[in-house]
């Protein structure tokens, strides 16, 4: 079933394409499909597009394509069949050091969930998480698929500083802080991976993330390899 869309202007150089329906795996698949169509269409004047939970914002050069022409193309594009039957997805393995100094809120999550700490860790690393969108920081992945048993409310008072690589839980979502930032998520561990630099991002919407637990020695080893550009992230396409 094709979900309906509504396109509206955002300023004078962007159009937001909103998709009908609640945030879900089906809606995310529709957004990924539409993004793929944009890529294949190569519409003159379109600079880039940014997928989100229930929309795709298309940025364009008004001198190259007018608003009225582009908005018609965007509506028409929704009806165009995609060339490939299935969009490939990537599974990215993310090592995490759970507990200790890098997990100030792990005990809080365990207590809220009425579970042992190791149970929380096992549940967290036993899922494949779909990246719904990238926000609020550059490269920050909002991950769907958190087991409701460990869903935990955000902190009542956000911290002034959370380190880069922090893995957190906020309500029924989990995510990773790509850079040092204030934040109110429950921090349960840290990954040594660099989520982005000035030239590229590790994640993109539609990817899946699989966390796996590492001990302190392995974490430090990976951290050193990454620092010296001797580590390759495990990414599998399917």
In a shared domain, residues 50 and 131: no
In the chain, what percentage of residues exceed pLDDT 70?
95
Nearest to 176 by CA among 68, 63, 96: 96
CATH number at residue 152: 2.40.100.10
The β-bridge partners of 14 are: 59
The β-bridge partners of 224 are: none
**Interval 58-108: pLDDT, tens:** 999 999 999 999 999 999 999 887 655 566 789 999 999 999 999 999 999
In a shared domain, residues 214 and 125: yes
In a shared domain, residues 137 and 230: yes
- The pLDDT, as a whole number, for residue 149 is 98
Number of domains the chain contains: 2
Look-up of token digits 């429950």 = 186
Sign of CA dihedral 11, 12, 14, 15: positive
Alpha helices in 105-156 (DSSP H): 106-113, 117-125
Task: Give the pTM.
Answer: 0.82
In a shared domain, residues 40 and 158: no
84 within some domain: no
End-to-end Cα spacing for the chain: 23
**Interval 18-50: pLDDT, tens:** 999 888 888 888 898 899 899 999 999 999 999
The β-bridge partners of 64 are: none
**Interval 162-177: pLDDT, tens:** 999 999 999 999 999 9
Which residues span the domain enclosing 159?
90-237
């Amino acid at each position: 079933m094709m979900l309906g869309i509504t396109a509206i202007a955002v300023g004078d150089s962007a159009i937001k394409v909103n998709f009908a329906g609640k945030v879900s795996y089906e809606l995310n698949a529709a957004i990924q499909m539409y993004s793929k169509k944009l890529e294949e269409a190569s519409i003159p004047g379109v600079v880039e597009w940014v997928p989100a939970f229930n929309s795709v914002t298309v940025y364009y050069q008004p001198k190259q394509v007018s608003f009225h022409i582009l908005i018609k193309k965007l509506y028409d594009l929704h009806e165009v069949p995609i060339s490939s039957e299935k969009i490939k997805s990537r599974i990215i393995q993310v090592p995490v050091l759970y507990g200790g100094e890098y997990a100030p809120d792990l005990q809080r999550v365990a207590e809220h969930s009425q579970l042992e700490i190791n149970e929380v860790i096992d549940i967290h690393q036993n899922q494949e998480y779909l990246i719904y969108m990238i926000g609020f920081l550059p490269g920050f992945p909002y991950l769907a698929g958190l087991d409701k048993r460990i869903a935990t409310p955000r902190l009542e008072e956000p911290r002034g500083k959370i380190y880069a690589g922090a893995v957190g839980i906020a309500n029924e979502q989990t995510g990773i802080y790509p850079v040092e930032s204030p934040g109110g998520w429950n921090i349960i561990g840290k990954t040594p991976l660099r989520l982005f630099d000035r030239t590229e991002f590790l994640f993109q919407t539609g990817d899946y993330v699989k966390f796996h637990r590492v001990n302190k020695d392995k974490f430090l080893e990976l951290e050193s390899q990454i620092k010296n550009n001797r580590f390759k992230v495990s990414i599998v396409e399917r």
